[in-house]
Structure 1
Amino acid sequence: MRERALGPRLVGVGMGPGDPELVTVKAVRVLREADAVVVPVMDTGEIGRAEATVRHHADAARIVRVVFALNEREDRARREAAWDEAGARVAELLRAGDRPTVAFATIGDPNVYSTFTYLAHTLRELVPDLVVETVPGITAMQDLASRSGTVLAEGTEPVTLVPVTAGSAVLKEALAGPGTVVAYKFGRLAAQVGEALRETGRDGDAVWGASLGLPDQQLSAPGTPIDGTLPYLSTLIAPARREGRGGKL
């Protein structure tokens, strides 16, 4: 039997890349046992991918929608104000009842480019006795590797993960190095990604995808050129150059 947390408990739950079947057994259990399940939404109010996945596994009556400025990248003051407001709302849930458990559903993994990081940082200051935990989730790069038949790493090969929102120069530097390169969040900068792949000679076997496992899935064949823009949450894998079996052991 698990020991009861000494204070209110906040659990960041990884909901995987969006396919409702790619959610762990532990994640489903935590969602169903939690006193409340918080899902992040944009200020425009539509159901996001994390919330849509949660609704496949948890009682909708316990879902609490909290607005984050997820689409705000320029106005830092507005973004941080949204984080503060969201933190205050979740703090109310954590103070309700006797040591409640509040789950926060995040797409992918809560420790990889996740909104949960900002929320937990805020709440540690608002709720002094808070216990913070995470449940890992399947990542988009794992899903894309599986669906495309791409091996992420062999032997001593490194894997470099780059958010293209950091700039195309960061991506080019990674592509010029050894090993496999994974690019996240590159949809609006797809043309720059395509150029970086060509300049570094890594375009021949790269694969990309978006909305994997969902009705509007996009999945490229290896080496398919990137033309135009793609959804924001697009993922790309440029696998390491390999020669024969076990060549990098």
Structure 2
Amino acid sequence: MTGHLYGIGVGPGDPDLLTIKAAKILHQVDIIIAATSTKNEDSLALDIARPHLGPTAQIIAMGFPMSRDQNVLTAAWEKNARLILDQLKEGHRVAFLTLGDPLLYSTFAYVLRTLRSMAPDQPITIIPGITSFQAAAAATETILAKGAENLLILPGIRAAQSLRTSVAGADNAVILKAYTNFTALRQELKKNPVDNHCVFVSKVGMKEQLVARDLDQAPEKPTYLSLLLLTKNT
């Protein structure tokens, strides 16, 4: 008997922002997989989902290395994909938790791709989640795009100058994981008038939520869960 895998986006931080479908499935599955660093078993996604879990669900902390070495990453994806397949072959319903949405800068995307190469016919259902930038826009009343405007989504791990160039060519932009090299990023962005309409948000939807409506008001060393909303037009 083949089990079923669910990739579930738990949203940005507030447990109430899970979709009804996500909450329903979390209450029904047999196994919950929480992606963690290989250095510890902390999982914010699990903390967010916990109020919705069924009483008998088994929780598995699955370590993924924080590395840029492609060989190290590939080995981890393959190892963990095999572990997931072992559970599925036993007929279990398995939920893989991910912050935000499962298919946007998510560990699950790599697991999904690896699983599909190993088991093309494996039943998998992906449950979308509210992204951090959607929640940040709602919290700050920032219009992400209107009319014929475009919206560019960028990862903060790119070089600061590259990010500035990309932002300059867009009507509106989101920079996720803005904590990476934030000092250089702030300096580069201030070279553009776009910073007049810049909102910094960290830990959106959590008790520690922080909002700064000017780059100069943002902390010197932002947390991992930080982003920037940049708009050219009010």
TM-score, structure 1 normalization: 0.86
> Shift of residue 113 of structure 1?
0.8
> Shift of residue 68 of structure 1?
1.2
**Alignment CA distance shift 1:33-1:222 (3 Å):** same
> Residue 161 of structure 2 contacts residue 185 of structure 2 at CA under 8 Å; is this kept in 1?
no
Q: Secondary structure at the match of 2:228?
A: strand
Q: Please give the alpha-carbon distance, in whole angstroms, between the structure 2 residues aligned to 1:175 and 1:78.
A: 32
Q: Name the residue aligned to 2:53.
A: 58
Query: Which of 16, 22, 28 is the matching residue for 1:27?
Result: 22
Give 5+ residue unaligned stretches, structure 1.
Answer: 1-5, 243-249
CA offsets, 1:158-204, max 9 Å, x none? 00000021222331122212411100112032112211221112222
Q: CA RMSD in A?
A: 1.9
Query: Which of 49, 63, 68 is the matching residue for 2:64?
Result: 68
- Of 185-194 and 142-151, the range deviating more from structure 2: 185-194
**Alignment CA distance shift 1:119-1:241 (3 Å):** same
> Residue 2 of structure 2 contacts residue 90 of structure 2 at CA under 8 Å; is this kept in 1?
no
- Structure 2 counterpart of 1:231, one-letter code: T
> Shift of residue 208 of structure 1?
1.0
> Residue 191 of structure 1 contacts residue 226 of structure 1 at CA under 8 Å; is this kept in 2?
no
Q: Please give the alpha-carbon distance, in whole angstroms, between the structure 2 residues aligned to 1:212 and 1:238.
A: 16
Query: Which of 72, 75, 92 is the matching residue for 1:78?
Result: 72
Query: Which of 121, 133, 136 is the matching residue for 1:144?
Result: 136
- Spell out the pairing of 1:166-181 with structure 2 (5 A cutoff): 166-181=158-173
Give 5+ residue unaligned stretches, structure 2.
Answer: none
> Residue 29 of structure 2 contacts residue 54 of structure 2 at CA under 8 Å; is this kept in 1?
no
How many pairs align?
233
**Alignment CA distance shift 1:227-1:54 (3 Å):** closer
Query: Which of 70, 95, 104 is the matching residue for 1:112?
Result: 104
> Shift of residue 76 of structure 1?
2.4
> Shift of residue 86 of structure 1?
1.1
Correspondence 1:162 to 2:150:
no
- Structure 1 counterpart of 2:101, one-letter code: D
Q: What is the percentage of aligned positions where both structures have the same residue?
A: 30
Q: Name the residue aligned to 2:4.
A: 9
Q: Secondary structure at the match of 1:175?
A: helix
TM-score, structure 2 normalization: 0.92
Q: Name the residue aligned to 2:126.
A: 134
Q: Please give the alpha-carbon distance, in whole angstroms, between the structure 1 residues aligned to 2:81 and 2:134.
A: 31
